Amino acid sequence: MPETTLSKGHAEHTKAADDPRGLPGPMPRPIKVTMIGAGSGFTPRLMNDILRIPGAERGEIALCDIDLERLEMMHQVIARLIDSLGRDGWTVTASPDRRTLLPGTDYLVNCIEVSGLACVRFDNDIPLKYGIDQCIGDTIGPGGLFKGLRTIPIWLDILRDAAELCPDALVLNYTNPMNMLMLAAGRTSPMQAVGLCHSVQGTSHLLARRAGVPYEEMAWECAGINHLAWFTKLEHQGRDLYPTLKAKAQLDLAGTPANPDDAADLVRKDMMLHFGAFITESSGHLSEYLPYYRKRKDLLARYARSGYDGGSSFYADGWPLWRRAADDYRARLVRGDEPTDWERSWEYASWIIEAREKNTPFRIHGNVMNRHKGGGPLIANLPGDGCVEVACMIDSNGVQPTVYGNLPPQMAAICDSNMRMFDLAATAAIERSIDAAVWALMLDPLTAAMCSPAEIKQMTLEMFEAEKDFLPGYR
């Protein structure tokens, strides 16, 4: 990927993405977009975004999923979208065999899920026996590790097929655990790939609202790792917004919020007060990345709130219900009982495609390996062989990460603690190594805060036994 040094000031990417008219310039060719894991809830809106790219009059959408019922339903949904938008120059095909779909692919979107509901309770309940209380548990910690161990081998198989059948395709990954998947890809695959999340877009808008300033006038910088990137600069017309945000956070944490809606998101607010900047992901996720907030009941009572805001076992309890709701929603889409007149969203995929095709520079925040073309790191005080989330320029050259420099040392240290775990997790998945998986959890911040090394090893082996049907080849 070419090196780019880019001003990190204003939020050019989300300003553009707030304008559904899109980017200037013509679309020079028809494109083929292949969606792996097409049964995902992301698929309808992502494909709607792509079909709404101005000038994208011709192309092909190829859908792949091993769940044949979901695949057929999504095929019907996308065909309906094409018809409703009047995109007669687009076609949609579907197959459970990705190798038949990959040839000619320009953009490969990955949204796979491995094991469905089979391991959700194991990921949550076995660690809970050892005192490890998870809220989400799909990106770090025992749940995140085992989701990675199940998913990464399939992900790398997809990339090997892509390298053979569509080597020039740009790979856009939405599947968690993001850092582990992108790290494994960066270490083993020649494909150009970027990991996409919406936490930077969502949090930057959130901070503008909390600070009471127009979003388009806010200047900011953000860098770190996925779900743990720091807004190191946050200004409005040259005025630092952090004093205002910190004063509000102190009231919220004291239990005297100015607005009832502010009595939430306490982990992020507390981290901002103690470490100096706001972090991109929700308090539910963030509390699992740290050793501070989930190790005692009194701390959970003080900092965690229900649901996505830190509730215990939230993901494990909710996922079966959400899957059923998503299936019901797909069925209503197929029947025409749900509207599909969606506006284009701020999800990065369609904007990356448009910028690359039109050669119109556009900035995103993406998850990439921590190195630029010259070989040096993008974030200088984080591991050079790790994966980071930084501003990236998109044009006809593809994804060009920008050099950030040094994070403040206390922020870099928090990211580094997670990256050491991700390093061994990726190794465990690439090499199918049980030992590396055990070591990964020994370095996991929350797990290490709760358990001895012997307990961690015992728990990891118990999880391998419970999930062995989805972990072939590990030894």
For residue 313 the two structure tokens come to 């076992």
Number of helices and strands (H, E) in the chain? 18, 13
Sequence-distant (6+) residues with CB within 8 A of 370 are 377, 378, 379, 382, 383, 384, 385, 386, 387, 388
Rounded CA-CA distance 200/217 in Å is: 17
Rounded alpha-carbon distances, angstroms, from residue 245 to 200, 211, 266, 380, 381: 17, 6, 13, 28, 27
Residue identified by tokens 């080597």 is: 167
CA distance 368 to 386: 9
Residues 6+ apart with CB under 8 A from 409: 381
- Using alpha carbons, list the distances in angstroms from residue 432 to 150, 372, 386, 390, 438: 10, 29, 19, 29, 12
Task: Report the C-alpha gap between 137 and 139 in whole angstroms.
Answer: 6
Residue 274 annotated to the active site = no
Q: Are 275 and 414 in contact (CB under 8 A)?
A: yes
Q: Are 288 and 140 within 8 A, CB to CB?
A: yes
Residue 190 CB-density burial (10 A; 0-12 exposed, 13-18 middle, 19+ buried): exposed
Q: Taking Cα atoms as reference points, which of 231, 205, 308, 298 lies closest to residue 264?
A: 308
DSSP code, position 405: B
Q: How far apart are the first and last CA of the chain?
A: 35
Q: What's the gap between Cα 457 and its chain centre?
A: 28
Q: Which of 10, 13, 75, 198 is catalytic?
A: 198
Q: Which of 245, 201, 132 is nearest to 366 (CA)?
A: 201
Q: Detail the DSSP E strand segments found in 281-380.
A: 362-369
Under DSSP, the state recorded for 287 is: T
- Which residues contact residue 152 at a Cβ distance below 8 angstroms, ignoring those fewer than 6 apart? 180, 181, 184, 426, 429, 430
Cβ atoms 194, 177 nearer than 8 A: no
CA distances (Å), 24 to each of 362, 406, 475, in order?
11, 34, 53
Structure tokens at 280: 């991109």
Q: Please give the angle made by the CA atoms of 81, 86 and 92, to the nearest 5 degrees.
A: 50
- Active-site residue set: 198
